[in-house]
Amino acid sequence: MTAAAHRPPTQDTDTRGTPAQNTPTRNDTSTRNAPTRLLAPLRETGRLFALAVTVARDMFRRPFQFREFVEQFWFVASVTILPAALVSIPFGAVIALQVGSLTQQLGAQSFTGGASVLAVIQQASPLIVALLISGAGGSAICADLGSRKIREELDAMEVMGVSPVQRLVVPRVLATMLVAVLLNGMVSVVGTLGGYFFNVIMQDGTPGAYLASFSALAQLPDLWISEIKALIFGFLAGIVAAHRGLNPRGGPKGVGDAVNQSVVITFLLLFFVNMVLTAIYLQIVPAKGA
């Protein structure tokens, strides 16, 4: 027999002489990563809820960072008071003009005041406040926490045994909540005065009918639900901004992306939560005179 008969079977080799292996293709990799991509939004939602629970728990823990709370309250209030006042005037005017035109067509012009004021207090005012706090204050909070994260300041705080959530996040969330509640009252008053002016001056309404319809349709729980909405919306704006600021990706560019994401996510949550709260309120609180 020749030597070739005793030669062991050879393996397929690549260009470097090593045995060839079955390397995964791009399709295989994408198939394996598909469940991960699908579960990523659920993980982010879970982290957001976990942060909300942690913040709610740490609000009652000591020591409370009162100085940080005052500084953040003043900052958020200073960047939102003037825009809120300027935005509430055209909002109240548009609602009053639209409601007044509709009630005039229906022959119920005397109810313009009550309908427009309820729309401003229950719906427009909390949303205006929350959108401004999220766009101005929330974006600044997200950028501040994100810059601290990429500079590893938050990691250094954890190494020293200091909780970043209790030290930095809790004062900021409480500041956004308090500013939202106080700013909601101002926006309600300014929007109501703007609606009154445009209805009486531009649509030839009477001041007596405007005030009479308001007193006939409005009730104290309308103001309560407005303040409750503002409180919850301020909490959501602060939590979302803090969550995105604590989890930036990709360095400084990731901080900018996190700011944009925090504003968009807050807007989506606000409208969804507003729908739920409004539906619950209309089911629990009966209309005045019903």
Token readout for 96 is: 């009053």
Question: pLDDT value at position 2?
Answer: 47
Q: Which sign, positive or negative, has the C-alpha torsion 77, 177, 237, 269?
A: negative
Token readout for 95 is: 């609602």
Q: Report the alpha-carbon distance of residue 245 to residue 142 in Å, rounded.
A: 4
Question: pLDDT value at position 5?
Answer: 47
For every residue of 156-185, DSSP letters joined together read HHHHTT--HIIIIIHHHHHHHHHHHHHHHH
Q: Which sign, positive or negative, has the C-alpha torsion 164, 231, 76, 252?
A: positive
- The pTM for the full model equals 0.82
Question: pLDDT value at position 29?
Answer: 54
Residue stretches of the chain with pLDDT short of 70: 1-36, 38, 289-290
DSSP designation for 285: S
Question: pLDDT value at position 279?
Answer: 92
Question: pLDDT value at position 27?
Answer: 55
